[in-house]
Chain A
Amino acid sequence: MNLTILILILPLISFLILGVWGKWLKPAQAGLLGTISLALVTLLSYYTAWQYFTMPRTPEGTFETLMPYNFTWLAFTETLHFDMGILLDPISVMMLVVISTVSLMVHIYSLGYMHGEKGFQRYYAFLSLFTMSMLGLVVATNIFQMYLFWELVGVSSYLLIGFYYTKPAAVAASKKAFIVTRFADLGFLVGILFYGFYAGTFTFSPTQTALVAGGAAMLPLALGLMFIGGAGKSAMFPLHIWLPDAMEGPTPVSALIHAATMVVAGVYLVARMFPLFIAYAPETLEIIGWVGAFTAFFAAAIACVQTDIKRVLAFSTISQIGFMIVALGVCTGSDPHEGGLGYMASMFHLFTHAMFKALLFLGAGSIIHAVHSNEMKDMGGLRKYMPVTHITFLIACLAIAGIPPFSGFFSKDEILAASFAYSPVMGWVMTGIAALTAFYMFRLYFGIFWGKEVEVHGSHKPHESKLPMTFPLMFLAAVTCVAGFIPFGEFISSNGQAYHIHLDLTVAVTSVVIAVIAIVLATLIYMRPAQPVADKLAKNLAGLHSAASNRFYVDEIYQFVTHKIIFRYISTPIAWFDRHVIDGFFNFLAWGTNATSNSIRNLQSGQIQQYALVFLLGALALILILLLTF
């Protein structure tokens, strides 16, 4: 357990080395350095997880929460202080494993994908920085440390989205991502301050005295504000607009940051504050659940008509995060047998989703590498040329569609069971969205690997990627195949006690049948080279189709609100006031000083005798005054 500090320090060191001396390193050396340090971190994480989960349980049947390190950094009062440390509990240990695994796979994959790119060393430096901050986020011992690393994660996401900084679209996307999430983090910060004031502490367990003094009444507000920050990072409606644009970054980055790890930070935040939500703010949790459900549906609907494969995956990510949020939102108690199932389901889905969504993105990267395009119209029939990518992509699609025995089935089933337990409406809504998920994923799959034959680009046919790129695909596919059989509930559940996952047969059968129907539908529509049904549907529902293609005009609404209303009616008058009144005052002062000085500069003539004369006259005047007064 004492080695856990290395999990944070190793990526930091590799970031510093690559950041400062990267210029003098060969790209291969830089890549190797980053990958090896990450491999060590991964081993350490696995070791920590193994040690942690083999520890004897407490008498109540829970795992003990450990704090191997905790330093007071800034102390305000006895109870209110900013700490820095490492907190180990089931969810943080699980996150350590997820993050380090996906990050290692992305590091290996990037060796092939980014080969020969300008700024290879910089890329690895940023990857290390990101990994360090994400790991720091999940092991935070208090909400403030979490916030610090939260912002660091945001910065590294910004840097990596804008990695191709000569591309205007990438620059715009990175700015958009940063500003939107930063705006949401304002809510988080205010929430933290509220929490600090009313709960009397920054740790995750409020002090009794503060609660008795009336702080409990304010906790729902504080937690709700914190969720705004979480919604920004996790791309919940209406703060989701940055995530599709973030696909401008290199594809491995999308896999790591915008699919597997950073975007689930919001889910992790809610899970971290879960005991407080249950105890003090169940209504807030319910609202959060509905926000998640709406987002899941909204994003799934958009994903059905997008043509850029990375954007389809981005919207699918938003939708899946919606699932996790729903799973948390439908919790009504902390006992997993009565209303607390969603917590476990959410964490389980987070785990499986991280693996198969990273796999999907890395597969998409491999495809993009082969055909040099993001657009589905440039793809088709790739299954012959890229067998490994094809099979692994199919596995991931089956997993996300919820087909047994792949991992997505198990976690999604738990989420659906939890939703049905909460209310049948929520259950059916989520089942519908799951069907939609299966549909758009197989639309994507058939569009890429089946359908019309791909045109030959330039001189070479598309070919399978090299080993550094296919190895992560195979590894993640293997994980996706077996992850569902992990007895997840034994380790993580809402009250910490072991919970035996049992499949709810009716829910499982319904969801699988519906998913299969959706897949068959997608097969019928999209498998053939010509797609008469799809074209006809698009024509008959032209309004809906174009609205969904344009992402329901949410970006336009933002544009309208910011440019037409805020910029024009608030910013412009303020800018005028600043430029003319505030600046004008200081300009006037400067002008006055200048004018006065100019008018008296002739006194300084340089003629010594003139000075002497003035001096003498002055002396005489003084004498006269003295004589006259005394």
Chain B
Amino acid sequence: MEYYLIVSAIMFFAGIYGFFVRRNTLAILISIELILNATDINFAVFNRFLFPNGLEGHFFALFSIAISAAETAVAIAIMINIYRNIRSIQVRNLNEMKW
């Protein structure tokens, strides 16, 4: 069980790291996907090892995958709009929201 958790922890923190340091919104989105997938793995693993008779964890992971797909679609739509407005998808150019 620990090996699975180590893998998911690495994915999770890689995602966090990517979220903070990448300047491209697409890369940030991919980082978010990494974080979400890490949690999905956790759900599956805990369900498999701690409650082998239950299926809730698996279902929850499935839901999560579906929702993250939808979220990605929305996020990409937002990005396309941002690109149309400021001709860039670099986060540092996205400073319209200050003050």
**Cβ-based interface call for A536 (8 A):** no
- Contact status B19-A606, CB under 8 Å: no
- Contact status A608-B99, CB under 8 Å: no
**Cβ-based interface call for A601 (8 A):** yes
**Cβ-based interface call for A616 (8 A):** yes
**Cβ-based interface call for A613 (8 A):** yes
* Binary contact track A592-625/B, C-beta < 8 Å → 1, others 0: 0000000001001111110011001000000000
Closest to A605 in B: B98
Distance (whole angstroms) from the CB of B80 to the closest CB of chain A: 17
Q: A605 to B96, alpha carbons, bound, how many Å?
A: 9
Distance (whole angstroms) from the CB of B86 to the closest CB of chain A: 13
Residues of the A chain whose Cβ atoms lie less than 8 Å from the Cβ of B94: 606-608
* Binary contact track A424-446/B, C-beta < 8 Å → 1, others 0: 00000000000000000000000
Residues of the A chain whose Cβ atoms lie less than 8 Å from the Cβ of B16: 616
- Contact status A612-B19, CB under 8 Å: yes
Q: A247 to B59, alpha carbons, bound, how many Å?
A: 95
Closest to B95 in A: A606
Residues of the A chain whose Cβ atoms lie less than 8 Å from the Cβ of B97: 606
Interface of chain B residues 1 through 28 with chain A (CB within 8 A): 16, 19-20, 28
Closest to B21 in A: A609
- Contact status B99-A607, CB under 8 Å: no
**Cβ-based interface call for B84 (8 A):** no
Residue from A604, A609, A612, A616 in contact with B99 in the complex, judged by beta carbons closer than 8 Å: A604
* Binary contact track B82-99/A, C-beta < 8 Å → 1, others 0: 000000000110111111
Query: Chain A binding site: helix, strand, loop or mixed by DSSP?
Result: helix
Residues of B within 8 Å of A, CB-based: how many?
12
Q: A605 to B98, alpha carbons, bound, how many Å?
A: 5
Interface of chain B residues 27 through 79 with chain A (CB within 8 A): 28
- Contact status B98-A608, CB under 8 Å: no
Q: A245 to B91, alpha carbons, bound, how many Å?
A: 76
Interface of chain A residues 386 through 407 with chain B (CB within 8 A): none
Q: A609 to B99, alpha carbons, bound, how many Å?
A: 16
The residue in A601, A608, A613, A616 that gathers the most chain B C-beta atoms within 10 A of its C-beta is: A608
Closest to B98 in A: A606
Distance (whole angstroms) from the CB of B25 to the closest CB of chain A: 9
Closest to B16 in A: A616
Residue from A601, A604, A605, A609 in contact with B20 in the complex, judged by beta carbons closer than 8 Å: A609
- Contact status A607-B19, CB under 8 Å: no
Distance (whole angstroms) from the CB of B82 to the closest CB of chain A: 11
Distance (whole angstroms) from the CB of B12 to the closest CB of chain A: 12
Residues of the A chain whose Cβ atoms lie less than 8 Å from the Cβ of B96: 606
Residues of the A chain whose Cβ atoms lie less than 8 Å from the Cβ of B98: 604-607
Closest CB pairs A-B (n = 5): A606-B98, A606-B95, A606-B97, A605-B98, A604-B99
Sample of 6 further A-B pairs with CB below 8 A, known A605-B98, A609-B91, A612-B20: A604-B98, A606-B94, A607-B95, A608-B94, A609-B19, A616-B20
Interface residues of A, Cβ cutoff 8 Å to B: 601, 604-609, 612-613, 616
